[in-house]
Structure 1
């Protein structure tokens, strides 16, 4: 065991450390954090607008009016979340370089819009298809355009920084208001950056792909999304999250930085199907991970561990840990358990820590793929939402979602049970030994 632990530490720690400190992954993660409040707002109103059985209570016409009235809440946030993520990435990356971060966000979104085709195909009443100009399809502003948006934000922010560091700026004389001086200072770097993206758009118009969006989706996004939607890739992601946490690194942040664009794109497909009332295409989505694995007490699904502590704990250490960890664990904050049990670098918990989330991922995947449990509806559930309630919301208001979470808690509890017993016995004997030595 010691040799195995040492091997894992020597191999994984350097990799995880580099990923955790990578400026692009950090900007990507923080970009999503900028968009998160807006995404959650939109998701809440998607659920409210699609309450089950409401159409039977108020009638079809009233229900359609009700949905139309609430529709702008999600249309202006969730449906175009790519815009907010792009702004956040550009802002945070330029901020990392100690530059004028607001211009990083501005140049990122402008670059993306330059690459975005501003036409849609409109079907007339006669059935003919006409191209309408001056319109940006919202589909490319959401998860579908996320990959291009991410790459565009990275490249545009780097170009802006490069031109700024080369002093290709306009220096205003003393006495000019600071806001005006900063605006003129950013003029040339932004102009050069946007010109490059305009040239890229023109060049792609002469290819068979016609647009950069088509190129990205055909060669990169579609294959990666197909890979990320499968069970094998999901198991690998879950295992990596657990391993990184075991070595004291925030596994969720590291792994989500890579997988979030894929999971959000899958989420968006389910949301569109849910709103249209058609079959949901994907099992694995952002909410599959966040609600049915992480959302049951935090990484490692430690809510079940807390329940186990209350049921079998005899040692004072575990009992006190359970009291400290329970209130936070209900809202999926599990640092008290991770650092108090402890889980980090503790070989006693390595097996259940790695195995339990993987087993839950497999069971949940097959339950949803066979139709026993509804698939995630695409709504973004706030990560602090307690288990059972989050499962109900994530599946579009279906009780089966909460039942699935309850089954998952039971699975984790059973896997952890023997290891908790061993740990509790060890702590209990040590406490008794310490008490006896003090008494003598």
Structure 2
């Protein structure tokens, strides 16, 4: 076991360290965090607009009027979430370099809009919201990275206008950004023109065909999901925040799949995807935190005798209800503890497989594309994430049971060890 852990440590820790400190992945992660409050706001109103039985209580006309009144909440947030992510990435990229971060955000947004065709059904000056949401996410991410780098490059080369002393600071900063922004946007205009002569016609078509579509298809499958879940657990075992590391890579894929489900849910159509952002966040991470440790807390109260473990349960229980599990991770401990390596790695993977097939056969509903805050307690989060369906909560309850059963023998082993040590200490007194 020690040799196996040493090999894992030597292989995975350098990879995790590079991922965690990569400035592009950091900016990507922080860019999504900028958009998160707006995404949650839109999701809340989609839930409110689709309360169960409302269509039976209200007349058809009243129900349609009710939904129409609430639709702008999601249209102004979820439907154009890509814009907020782009601004956030551009802002964070320039901020990391110590530059004027706000210009990083606006140049990223403007660069993306330069590349976006403004024609819809022979009407010019119109941008379809699909291009501004998760569908345009990959183009937006690449655009934000490149535009921020170009802007910073031109600033570093001192291609700026220096205003004389006495000019207001806001005016001076604005003129200082003029040439770097102009050069950056010109570069993207040239890219747009060049692509118009290719078979793809637009950069969107190029990114979607060669990058987004294959990656989305890969990320929606069970094998890639199992790998992602397993890596989250492995990184956490070595004391690294696995969720942050893996989300940095998979979030663009999961959010894109989420958006497809949301569009189908709002249209009353069959949901196309099982694996989405909420599949991971609600049915795996959202049951006590990474590793689904809410079931471990329950097991501590049910089967353990050790005073140390029971006090840990008292400490970690309230936080675990809201999916904060650092007391368990560091108090059990989970980090670098070979006694619990097997259940720590195995339980989330088994849950991912069971949940996937339960949704595939229709036993449990698929995630509806609604972003539920990660601190929402289990059962309630499952109900909300599936569009107010009780079987979403039932699936979470089943998952808790699965984790409980897998952890039980290992937790008993740990309990016997701690309890024996406590008994020896008591006799020594």
* 1:120-162 C-alpha deviation (Å, 9 max, x unpaired): 12xxxxxxxxx11100100010000000000000000000000
Residue in structure 1 matched with residue 6 of structure 2 by the alignment: 6
Displacement after TM superposition at 1:52 (Å): 1.7
- Tell me the residue number matched to 1:413: 404
**Matching residue within 255, 259, 271 for 2:246:** 255
Q: Shift of the alpha carbon at 1:199?
A: 0.2
Spell out, residue by residue over 1:65-94, the C-alpha distance to the aligned partner (whole angstroms, 9 max, x if none).
000000000000011000000000000010
Task: Indicate the residue corresponding to 1:423 in structure 2.
Answer: 414
Offset at residue 379 of structure 1 (A): 0.5
TM value normalised by structure 2: 1.00
Aligned-pair RMSD on alpha carbons? Answer: 0.5
Secondary structure at the counterpart of residue 379 of structure 1? coil
Deviation >6 Å, runs of 4+:
none
Measured after TM superposition, the shift of residue 431 of structure 1 is: 1.1
Q: What is residue 20 of structure 1 aligned with on the other side?
A: 20
Cα distance in 1 for residues equivalent to 2:95 and 2:368: 35
51-60 vs 22-31, which deviates more?
51-60
| Secondary structure, aligned partner of 2:78 | coil
- Paired residues in the alignment total 429
Q: 2: distance between equivalents of 1:280 and 1:84?
A: 25
- Residues 155-304 of structure 1 mapped to structure 2, 5 A cutoff: 155-304=146-295
What is the SS of the residue equivalent to 2:260? helix
Question: Does residue 327 in structure 1 map to residue 329 in structure 2?
Answer: no
Distance 1:330 1:338 in 2: 15
Per-residue CA distance 1:29-57 (angstroms, 9 max, x = gap): 00000000000000000111111211110
Q: CA deviation at 1:323?
A: 0.3
- Structure 2 CA distance for aligned equivalents of residues 141 and 155 of structure 1: 18
Which deviations, in whole Å up to 9, do the C-alpha atoms of 1:251-288 show, x marking residues without a partner?
A: 00000000000000000000000000010000000000
Map of 2:63 onto structure 1: 63
SS at match of 1:80: helix
* Alignment-derived partner of residue 305 in structure 1: 296
User: Paired residue for 2:96?
Assistant: 96
1:114 alignment counterpart: 114
Per-residue deviation, 1:433: 1.1
Q: Secondary structure at the match of 1:79?
A: helix
1:140 aligned onto 2:131: yes
Task: Tell me the residue number matched to 1:354.
Answer: 345
SS of aligned partner of 2:79: coil
Selected match of 1:372 from 339, 353, 363:
363
Secondary structure of 1:281's aligned partner: coil
Greater CA deviation, 47-56 or 408-417?
47-56
Superposition deviation, residue 432 in structure 1: 1.2
Correspondent of 1:341 among 316, 325, 332? 332
Residue 40 of structure 2 corresponds to 40
Taking structure 1 as the reference length, the TM-score comes to 0.97
SS in structure 1 at match of 2:24? helix
Q: Distance in 2 between matches of 1:119 and 1:369?
A: 38
In structure 1, the gaps of 5 or more residues are: 122-130
What is the aligned partner in structure 2 of residue 400 from structure 1? 391
Secondary structure at the counterpart of residue 178 of structure 2 = helix
How far apart are residue 60 of structure 1 and its match?
1.0
Tell me the equivalent position of 1:127: none
